[in-house]
Amino acid sequence: MVTITNVSSNSRNNNASNKRFLSFCMISPITLLSHFLVAVFAFQVGVFFGGSMQKSRDGFTSSVSGVSFTSGMDVFPRQSIGQLVAGAALVDRSSFIQQYDIGVPWDIPNKPGNDQVMLLYTHPDTLPATTTTDPRKLPMFSDSISATQNCLEMQVVLIKPERKGQCVGIVGQWESFHVHHFTRLPPSMDTNNQVHRKYPMQYVSKYQQPNGRSPGLPAAQTLLDDYGPILKDYLERLPSILERLKPLAQQAAGSGNTIVVMVCNFGQSELFLNFVCSAKARNLDLSRVLLFATDDEMMALAETWGVTAFAVGDDFGEMPKKAARAYGDKVFAGMMMAKVYCVQLINMLGYDLLFQDVDIVWYKNPLDYFHADNVPIIGDFDLYFQDDGARSSRYAPYSPNTGFYFIRHNARTEYLFSVFLRMGDLIQQSGSHQSALTTLLADFASDRGLKVKVLGRDDPQGQLFPGGFHYHNRKEFMKQFASNTLMTEKPYIFHMSWTHNKDNKQKFLQQMGDWYVKAECVGVEAVPPMQDCCIQEPEVQCHYRDKPSRKPCIDSPPIDKGKKSFW
């Protein structure tokens, strides 16, 4: 820690306004950087408080003037960077992220070397009162309210701890709300070369990997030839689409203002049937569900089963009828655009909405969680996402799962999805709307004050919405989940994401006792009525011993060669 205290009386006399200010000393810049997980810069701060705080400051010694006892040099020389930094302190990390929750999943744990946040104060008037008298230590605050009591603004910067070779530069200039990234690559920017000290620094995107790889940009011709005509056609049809959709949206919303939005083609119909059957078995109300059926077969099924549905027809362009064979293939990418359109439409009509994929089962109605009365627990955000679980740079800093998220209608979210609508070329290029939306969320949070919350994968709130990440990566959690011994509240849903294809989703759900569709209703052209397809109490069916299951499946083969039994 480093001391914050008054400067000498001579320095105070040189201050024309005779203001009191504090500075820190006795620590090297290298040591400072080693403490960074979150660097916080307070700009345009307010005037200095008087009273007891003034008395506390007057009691400080003048020994901490920013001079290092070991080097004889100012750590923060006022002559050169005095307008950037006036002092520093440490504050408890848990307290800080609770007060300044920017919505990211806080899953990097508090531990030695990463259990405090470094605060940099850019003006003397922002400095807090402290009783620290040791000039060799930074003052440490146990609560962020005291540490930031004089700050009128707070800028939060996230830095991955223990990232080798990383340096951080703070430059006095007009404010930029983006981090500018340089890395060492050959002058040719050859992406087949790994980052190396022998190369010069090159300006790169946030997606640049240490191995030199970086995702490409959508070709301009893609927009002109592929997505441009689709978007033009959609916008021309938009007034008539909204007119047809309004009565169905009103029917689904009922007396409230919230709709559960789903989109499905016939190729994924079995998963949708399972969602409906599982909810009916638990007596959960599905009257708020509005299904966007992208083909005639799916529309006929929805009508047979009494689900409120909108016939997409050719309003979204050419939509695939079959199921995707794998994540990111052309069928998958085509359905991604349908997911963008349906959300944008309902949001444009002024409704709050929960969008969810069809590979989900409900244990409780998730709308209860997002109800306005629950804001003291979940916070006041514009969007809430299930945590995808991935931690690659393309999903940073949020890692939102775009197969389960809640949107509050307001001007910010309406503008967000109107812009997202125009990014179809990027969605087609990446094969998923998840990374495209992640980029847009970060931009809108900075540019428009959009408030995004991701329910962290290991956070108690996030564990109310488990998914494929937990299924494949959190063995102890899944054992408790499968044996109904979770110490936390019973989850609202389970989302079988992170799974290669529809067939495996069905098998994994069967192992978890969450498959509610009779075999004779799977893979057939004419689906029977609901009462002939739904199972009231499904049996656990074993397929793979190395995957979570409600009962031991030790006699089954592994899906991954050489893997041991889950139990």
Is the domain of 271 the same as that of 193? no
Give the contacts of 312 (CB within 8 A, at least 6 positions apart): 292, 293, 294, 295, 319, 338
SS3 labels along 13-75: HHCCCCCCCEECCCCCHHHHHHCCCEEEEECCCCCCCCCHHHHHHHCCCCCCCCECCCCCCEC
pLDDT digit string (tens) for 56-77? 333 332 222 343 333 444 677 8
In this prediction, residues 318-345 reach a mean pLDDT of: 71
Is the domain of 184 the same as that of 148? no
The sign of the dihedral angle between the CA atoms of 458, 460, 461, 464 is positive
Is the domain of 83 the same as that of 68? yes
Is the domain of 106 the same as that of 190? no
- The percentage of the chain sitting over the pLDDT mark of 90, rounded to a whole number, equals 59
Tokens of 11: 């320095």
pLDDT digit string (tens) for 419-473? 999 988 888 777 778 888 998 999 999 999 999 999 999 999 999 999 999 999 9
Residue 475: inside a domain: no
Residue 167: inside a domain: no
Count of domains in the chain?
Answer: 3
Is the domain of 262 the same as that of 316? yes
Residue 503: inside a domain: no
Residue 138: inside a domain: yes
pLDDT digit string (tens) for 117-164? 999 999 999 999 877 777 778 889 999 999 999 999 999 999 888 888
Is the domain of 234 the same as that of 106? no
Tokens of 492: 């609202």
Is the domain of 354 the same as that of 431? yes
Is the domain of 52 the same as that of 150? yes
Is the domain of 83 the same as that of 9? yes
Is the domain of 289 the same as that of 409? yes
Do the beta carbons of residue 44 and residue 153 sit within 8 Å? yes
Q: Is the pLDDT of residue 18 over 70?
A: no
pLDDT digit string (tens) for 212-249? 777 777 677 666 677 888 889 999 999 999 999 999 99
Is the domain of 450 the same as that of 351? yes
Is the domain of 149 the same as that of 186? no
Q: Of 435, 461, 487, which marks where a domain is finished?
A: 461
536 pLDDT band, cuts 50/70/90, is very high
pLDDT of residue 201: 93
Residue 478: inside a domain: no
Q: Which amino acid would we find at residue 68?
A: S
DSSP state of 543: -
Cα separation, 407 vs 351, in Å, equals: 9
Instruction: Quote the domain boundaries for residue 412.
Output: 221-461
